[in-house]
Structure 1
């Protein structure tokens, strides 16, 4: 494929569904969590919350389902439910480790811009041995608005001391692609089974599209 890293000084990755194969487990957690309240998972829930920060999602659940627990209590319960899966069942998506190595070798900075909780991000990046590659790791709870707002991507660019137009974003969902584009960055959409139904829209919104991050490695000029 074409050299999508040309003129790029930093690469910013979404986490879930982009760097790691983890989107599948969140629907399982939502089903299990709502079952406690005798609520069946609504079919429109996943599209409604995609891109929201961990805090925004907890607020959405609290408001929509009338949950009495505090926002912090909801987030803590979700983190607890996800902890073992992130520690033992979530793998890197193919090509990610090799791309991170390439970025390091070519002197490009790398960052993570995620809607997940900091605790889970730190757990899984340490467990998978990739935390050392990142110069900035930020969560949407650290900015005013989650994706599709550009806030999280602009914050990471500021950390990396690069201009937005010098950044390439890897994202797997529409809201994330919109966030990267709104930030003024180039965006490469990545296939993920959880968002397979949105593939055409992702291809239209993004500057590039890959079925696997491994495709980026094919161009030896990078």
Structure 2
């Protein structure tokens, strides 16, 4: 595969959580609060996040990976709630976080606006559920004020749009089919190991955006990614040349 910069590609595909928005830590906080509500043990946030990421990577082909995760978390906490009950409680806890606290990473809105002005087609491909993306689209004032999703992105793909989430390349294969694209048209920005694996499986160049919650996979991400960015300021520097 020819290794080309995002500037040489017409379509730029973005992951959401941990890539465009600073949200992974919030989900760790949500799951810690959820565990407390179920009478579970107090655990360090990063350990909670790693367990979630490992579980979702292993259960990406489940009908609803997050429902499976909620049931597993209940059992981890010694709680008898059903997966559906845990899922509803998780949504209740997370809603306030998603509306008021989630924000773009520094520099991300400027990158989005600049790429849009250059005529690039921008697409989101995320494992985030549609209900959460709808909150970002319509209720989150931080995102709406800086780079509104519907105004900036041609298409948004969520976990409901595929049968297998990342590291499966299905979401990328689907969006290329839907939009009439080839892998030579595309470039992907990702922060996680599962996301980078999905990009590589799809045969699309991937730029890894550093996220502190992927620190444990940093060396592997550096090896697998075609490009590495410490922050969106690095991308802005490329755009300003």
TM-score class normalised by the smaller sequence? 0.7 to 0.9
Of structures 1 and 2, the one scoring higher in RCO (CA 8 A, sep 6+) is: 1
Alpha-carbon separation, structure 2, partners of 1:70 and 1:220: 45
Work out the CA distance in 2 between the residues paired with 1:108 and 1:218.
Answer: 17
Preserved CA contact (<8 Å) 1:140 1:147 = no
The structure-2 alpha-carbon separation of the partners of 1:98 and 1:45, relative to structure 1 and needing over 3 Å to count, comes to: same
Q: Is the 8 A contact 1:14 1:170 kept in 2?
A: yes
Please state how far the C-alpha of 1:50 moved relative to its aligned partner: 5.0
Equivalent position to 2:82, from 44, 61, 69 = 69
RMSD: 2.5
2:218 is matched with 199
Greater per-residue helix proportion: 2
C-alpha spacing 1:194/1:220, structure 2 compared with 1 (3 Å): closer
Match of 1:10 in 2: 11
Structure 1 stretch displaced more, 58-67 or 84-93? 58-67
Q: How much has 1:70 moved relative to structure 2?
A: 4.4
Distance, in Å, in 1 between the alignment partners of 2:38 and 2:67 is: 15
| 1:85 corresponding residue in structure 2 | 97
**Cα distance per residue 1:11-40 (max 9 Å; x no partner):** 111101111001001111112212233222
Per-residue deviation, 1:191 = 0.7
**Counterpart for residue 182 of structure 2:** 163
**Between 45-54 and 30-39, the greater mean CA deviation after superposition:** 45-54
Deviation of 1:74 after TM superposition, in Å, equals 3.7
Q: In the alignment, which residue of structure 1 is the partner of 2:127?
A: 115
TM-score calculated relative to the size of structure 2: 0.81
Q: Which runs of no fewer than 5 residues in structure 2 stay unpaired?
A: none
Deviation of residue 159 (structure 1)? 3.3
Q: Which residue of the partner structure matches residue 55 of structure 2?
A: 49
Cα displacement (A) at 1:63:
4.3
Show the counterpart of 2:234: 215
**What residue is the counterpart of 2:161 in the other structure?**
142
TM, length-normalised to structure 1: 0.88
2:78 is the alignment partner of 1:59 = no
How many pairs were matched up?
220
Sort the Cα spacing of 1:138 and 1:100 in 2 relative to 1 into closer, same or farther, 3 A.
same
* 1: CA distance, partners of 2:180 / 2:111: 21
